[in-house]
Structures are given as structure tokens and as C-alpha cells.
Amino acid sequence: MKVEHLSVAYGQVTVLENINVTLRKGVLTGIIGPNGAGKSTFFKSACGISSK
């Protein structure tokens, strides 16, 4: 999966901006960060799943 220039906003608040990443099939990749950092928002947006 390749994600380029992903930005997500809720109304006027930008929560992710210009995210670029390549995730390779068969390679274990971890996304870490504190609660509220945008991990779930990133995956939902990258997969085209509505966050609302």
C-alpha cells in the first residue's frame, strides 16, 4: 500500500497533513504513538473508511 500526500481535517482542524508512506506486503510494520495521535485516523483514511 502506498499513501502519498494524505491530509485529513475535521471541519477547520487539520489532524493529519501531507503523510507519505509505503507499506509492503509480507513485511510487519508498526505504527506507534500516544492516544489521540492519529493512528486510527491514518489507517481509516488510507483505506477509504469514513472516520465518522
Q: What is the pLDDT of residue 52?
A: 58
What would the mean pLDDT of 3-32 be, rounded to a whole number? 95
User: Is 29:36 a contact under the CB 8 Å cutoff?
Assistant: no
Cα separation, 17 vs 25, whole angstroms: 25
Assign 3-state DSSP to the chain and report helix, strand, coil percentages, each to 5. 15, 35, 50
The pTM for the full model equals 0.80
Q: What is the pLDDT of residue 50?
A: 75
Alpha carbons within 13 A on the beta-carbon side of 31: 13
Find all residues with CB under 8 Å of 29, minimum gap 6, and list them. Answer: 23
